[in-house]
Amino acid sequence: MKTALDRPIWTALTTKQAHLGLGDALARRFHPDVAPFAAVASDTPDAWRALNALMQPGEQVVVLSTDAVAGIDTLQAKRVGTIHQMVATQPFTQSTDDSDVIDLGPADVDDMLALVQRTKPGPFATRTREMGHYIGIREHGELVAMAGERMAIDGHVEISAVCVDERCRGRGLAGKLMNILRGEIGLRGDTPFLHVFSHNESAIGLYERLGFELRHAFTLTQISHAEPGNKC
């Protein structure tokens, strides 16, 4: 039986995070300055045409799917890789020292973007922090670690943008931030989940040690306007 986690992008965009997106009953996407994710209601030509109408010339979005994307003549698809969806199987109830952890808000966006540029945790834009609660650690005034909430659906909240400056790795900062978020998400009655590339073995190892387990594997596909003569 299909669940919300089988279609996290579509579910988020049609429920709790509809205000952060564009589209209609056939296709939806997040605002470009929020996230690059998009989804279609079904794998039909009408749905792909609707997504095509939401994209500006030269623009790209990414979709998650179980099977290869078919698309339509006006769009082309490029497989990016395999994504593992991992879910926290047990509630996090331990206490975590958060004395050096700060909430990140609008005034921190430039520093958040700079940290993302250095560490490359995945898509992060000027309004990504509006998707949920973001926290971080500063040392000598510089943001050196952060993590936050991305997609939100009924019963589940995604942890994302987990990144630590190279100079500060090996000190457990990523795990600390994730555990704080796990605790907060659990207190709200939700279950944390996340997405990670299947080849990122070091990150997967960390997430497994923190109690996350593989739930499902998706194909991540980049969708863009087709060049003349090309199709998906």
Q: Are residues 48 and 126 in the same domain?
A: no
Residue-range definition of the domain harbouring residue 32 = 4-84+218-225
Domain count, the chain: 2
Domain-located, residue 230: no
Distance separating alpha carbons of residues 212 and 115, to the nearest angstrom: 25
Domain-located, residue 232: no
Q: Are residues 128 and 200 in the same domain?
A: yes
Q: Are residues 64 and 109 in the same domain?
A: no
Domain-located, residue 157: yes
Predicted model pTM: 0.93
String of DSSP letters for 62-98: EEEESS-----TTEEEEEEEEEEEEEE-S---S----
Q: Are residues 196 and 98 in the same domain?
A: yes
Q: Are residues 178 and 153 in the same domain?
A: yes
Q: Are residues 39 and 152 in the same domain?
A: no
Q: Are residues 18 and 109 in the same domain?
A: no
Q: Are residues 175 and 206 in the same domain?
A: yes
Closest CA to 80 of 117, 125, 123, 28: 123
Domain-located, residue 31: yes
Q: Are residues 79 and 103 in the same domain?
A: no
Q: Are residues 75 and 166 in the same domain?
A: no
Domain-located, residue 148: yes
Q: Could you read off the pLDDT tens digit of each residue along the chain, which spans 232 residues?
A: 678 999 999 999 999 999 999 999 999 999 999 999 999 999 899 999 999 999 998 899 999 998 878 767 789 999 999 999 999 988 877 888 889 999 999 999 999 999 999 999 999 999 999 999 999 999 999 999 999 999 999 999 999 999 999 999 999 999 999 999 999 999 999 999 999 999 999 999 999 999 999 999 999 999 998 865 544 4
Domain-located, residue 174: yes
Domain-located, residue 16: yes
Where helices occur in the chain by DSSP H, the ranges are 8-14, 45-53, 109-119, 173-187, 201-209
